[in-house]
Amino acid sequence: MVINLQEELPAVEGMLAGVDEAGRGPLVGNVVAAAVILDKNQPVDGLADSKKLSARRREQLAEQIRERAIAWSVVSIDAAEIDRINILQATLLAMKQSVEQLAIVPGHVFIDGNRCPDIDVPATAVVKGDARVAEISAASILAKVERDAQMLVLHETWPQYGFDKHKGYPTKAHFEALAEHGPCPEHRRSYGPVRRAVARDEG
């Protein structure tokens, strides 16, 4: 089931989990998904789409979410697996595992986007859900904070790529670093710019 922007969200029974991901677009590193069940008795103020928050604000909210949520989980799928099964399947796998790793089984799951992973819980895909559902907003924040932290660790190993600045996204600086240094082991070989960089190196 998919809920589009003009449609109202359905009423659900039992605890609601929100799921979102970070890292589909970058050329390097993991795709990360998070699942969150919020506690209505311990609300987290200021939840929003993680992309609309500053890095500092995301980190502050992530700490509150981890402290106050009834349950949460974060799952990463690495670049090798992304290359093996493709980014869409890797994203759905990360989402599926994030739900399965929750300490409590939710009554329903709202997934950001237009498709749901194959899970044993009733689920609804919500277009632009990170701006409409608090649980999805919380999940988007946890996923984004985790992925950004991973990119800072990757930057320590491969500082020449500038991962601390662009977080692996296909920016001009990233393309220039790829052209100069070729890909590092964590680059996604199935992505066009990386594939072309590999071909140049091998040529």
Q: What is the CATH number of the domain that holds 74?
A: 3.30.420.10
pLDDT for the residue 34: 98
Q: Tell me the longest C-alpha to C-alpha distance in the chain.
A: 61
96 and 82 Cβ atoms separated by less than 8 Å: no
In a domain, 160, yes or no: no
Asked whether 107 and 80 are in contact (CB, 8 A), the reply is no
Residue 196 covered by a domain = no
In a domain, 81, yes or no: yes
Cα separation of 193 and 174, whole Å? Answer: 10
Yes or no: say if 17 and 110 are a contact pair by the CB < 8 Å rule: yes
* Cα gap 152→117, rounded to integer Å: 29
* Cα–Cα distance, 26 to 188 (Å, whole number): 9
The least confident of 4-8, 63-67, 195-199 is 4-8
Residue 17 lies in a domain: yes
Q: Which two tokens stand for residue 157?
A: 């190993």
Is 103 within a domain?
A: yes
Q: What confidence tens digit (pLDDT) does each residue in 32-86 have?
A: 999 999 999 999 999 988 888 999 999 999 999 999 999 999 999 999 999 999 9
Determine the residue type at 93. Answer: L
Q: CB neighbours (10 Å) of residue 102?
A: 21
In a domain, 172, yes or no: no
Domain count, the chain: 1
Q: Please name the amino acid found at residue 155.
A: H
Residue 98, domain member (yes or no): yes
Backbone angles phi, psi at 38, to 5 degrees: -80, 155
Q: What are phi and psi of 66, to 5 degrees?
A: -65, -35
pTM for this prediction: 0.95
Between CA 89 and CA 84 the distance in angstroms is 10
Instruction: Print the domain residue range for 94.
Output: 2-150
Question: Within 13 Å of residue 184, how many CA atoms lie on the same side as its CB?
Answer: 19
Q: What is the pLDDT of residues 126-152, one digit of tens each?
A: 999 999 999 999 999 999 999 999 999
